[in-house]
Amino acid sequence: MTRFCVIIIQANMNSPESKFIALSRHGELDNPTNIFYNRDSAMRPEDIIHISKAGRSQMKELGEAISKSRFTITRIYTSPQTRTKESSEELSKTLGGVEVVVDDDIDEAFAPGPYLEGMTMDKFVKDRVNVYDENTWRKYNHENPSGIIARMQRALMRITQELKNGETAVIMSHGDPVAWCLNSLNGGEIPQPKNLREMIYPTKGESFILKIETDNKISILHILPERKQRGSSY
């Protein structure tokens, strides 16, 4: 696998010789029953999660921030889940109708166990449940971090190769896949799952702007939109 080198900097910079990825998480959700949610395919149709009014506003705000930063968006790649597709469609509206393409490589981590056992989000958060613990969730065949990292980096490389210099693509994914990708870009040791949310982790409606050089060095330029109060992590 091609390795990336990541450098985190805080700068408002653009370059016609570089390529850019807006690695994003979907907007806030409408979850009135407080259920633990996962992939649509693992849930009953009536439980499938949609983005909320606040989530739609977040996508509009993100689109305006991207436009203000003068990035040339060529395409939005979205996870196949309802909440990411809705977020991508809202973002596309703000960006003038940019094409939205479903990409399975940026899908949610497959971890349906808590949902299938009736767990609420409150309990999930309170107990700091680790969905990657094999002893607890073995019978549900949860996806492991290495697999998530492999497919996210595969998508990142493929999408980067499709871009021309100076162009930007949006990847609309989920909290854990984005976090695993960002925290593993330097090719170092994979973070412990229990520590993932304490490292680089996107809140809902947030986007990490990545600058990719010709030598595959990646710089995190900044996080959009710049808010005084960030969205929710869970």
Which pLDDT tens digit goes with each residue over 146-166?
Answer: 999 999 999 999 999 999 999
- Number of domains making up the chain: 1
Cα distance between the two ends of the chain = 31
Alpha carbons 73 and 198: distance in angstroms, whole number: 30
* Tally of CB atoms within 10 A around 196: 19
Is residue 231 assigned to a domain? Answer: no
Domain assignment present for 229: no
Would you say residue 233 lies in a domain? no
d(Cα 166, Cα 86) in Å, to the nearest integer? 27
Domain boundaries, position 143: 5-224
Q: In the chain, helix, strand, coil percent, each to 5?
A: 40, 20, 40
Question: pTM for the full model?
Answer: 0.92
Q: Tell me the pLDDT of the chain (234 aa) as tens digits.
A: 344 444 443 344 456 779 999 999 999 999 999 999 999 999 999 999 999 999 999 999 999 999 999 899 999 999 999 999 999 999 999 999 999 999 999 999 999 999 999 999 999 999 999 999 999 999 999 999 999 999 999 999 999 999 999 999 999 999 999 999 999 886 667 889 999 998 899 999 999 999 998 887 888 888 888 865 666 788
Classify 207 as helix, strand or coil: strand
CATH of residue 38's domain is 3.40.50.1240
Task: Answer yes or no: is 209 within a domain.
Answer: yes
